[in-house]
Amino acid sequence: MNLLTLRENYLKQRIMLCFNGPISRSLIEEIGNALRNYLNTQEAAPSSAMDVFSVYIEMTQNIRHYAGRQGYDDEQATATVAVARDDEGHYLVSAGNLVELEDGKALVETVENLAGLDAVELKKAYKQQLRRPREEEHSGAGLGLLDMARKSTRPLQASIEPLPSGRGFFSLTATI
């Protein structure tokens, strides 16, 4: 294992924080805490720091909920999470996970549809989703996705890569 290559890759892509592996409830909290502390030392605007943290929480909790619903084991219930900065100083929050291929395709389509909505329409969709009964929560654009879309300064970007196993790898990026 060449850690120097890994490190150089991270530096090149301006990755501040990265995680890959089985993600537990407590790990989400600990990484979240590290992320908050890091943003504080970077003197990020409090509202940006809050948005980055919030998008990170929604992404990782969505992954945990999905893996739980699918009954995935520890190996399948892994997540790849990265927080980086782009050339313009925006924060990029990305998370990826294993999904059933059809679910991944449907998610990409949902995210693409959200890209066409302006702030007023996103707020309306968010408030509608908020009022859906809990048992219907997983239909339509999830509350978490709508919340991320509202916090992102650019439309969310999603992709799905088919894997040899027949499943897919879903990735989502929000720009703060």
Partner 1 sequence: MLEDLNIIGSQSTPTIQSDWQGGRLYMCGDSYPENSYELFGQVINWTETFLGDASHGLHLELELVYLNTSSVKAMMDIFDLLEDAHQGGRTVSVTWRYDTRNERIAELAEEFREDCTFPFDITPQQAQA
11-40 binders of partner 1 (CB under 8 A)? 25, 28-29, 32-33
Cα-Cα-Cα-Cα dihedral sign, residues 103, 30, 135, 111: negative
Tell me the window of 83-91, 126-134, 154-162, 168-176 that interacts with partner 1 (CB under 8 A). Answer: 126-134
Question: Judged by CB under 8 A, how many residues of this single chain contact partner 1?
Answer: 24
In the complex, the smallest distance separating the C-beta of residue 64 from partner 1, rounded to whole angstroms, is: 6
Residues with Cβ within 8 Å of 72's Cβ and at least 6 positions away in sequence, in order, are: 98
Give CA torsion, residues 100, 105, 110, 113, to 10 deg.
170
Tell me the window of 13-21, 108-116, 125-133, 155-163 that interacts with partner 1 (CB under 8 A). Answer: 125-133
Chain centroid offset of residue 49 CA: 15
Contact call for residue 105 and partner 1 (CB under 8 A): no
Q: Mask: binding to partner 1, 38-77, rule CB under 8 A, as x and -?
A: --------xx--xx-xx--xx--x--xx------------
Would you put residue 155 in left (φ > 0), alpha (ψ -120 to 50) or beta?
Answer: beta
Contact call for residue 144 and partner 1 (CB under 8 A): yes
In the complex, the smallest distance separating the C-beta of residue 25 from partner 1, rounded to whole angstroms, is: 5
Distance CA 77, CA 65 (A): 10
What's at 102, amino acid-wise? Answer: E
In the complex, the smallest distance separating the C-beta of residue 58 from partner 1, rounded to whole angstroms, is: 6
Please check whether residue 112 is in contact with residue 158, taking contact to mean a CB–CB distance below 8 angstroms. Answer: yes
Q: By C-alpha distance, which of 64, 59, 69, 121 is closest to 93?
A: 59
Give the footprint of partner 1 on this chain (CB under 8 A). 25, 28-29, 32-33, 46-47, 50-51, 53-54, 57-58, 61, 64-65, 123, 127, 130-131, 134, 143-144, 147
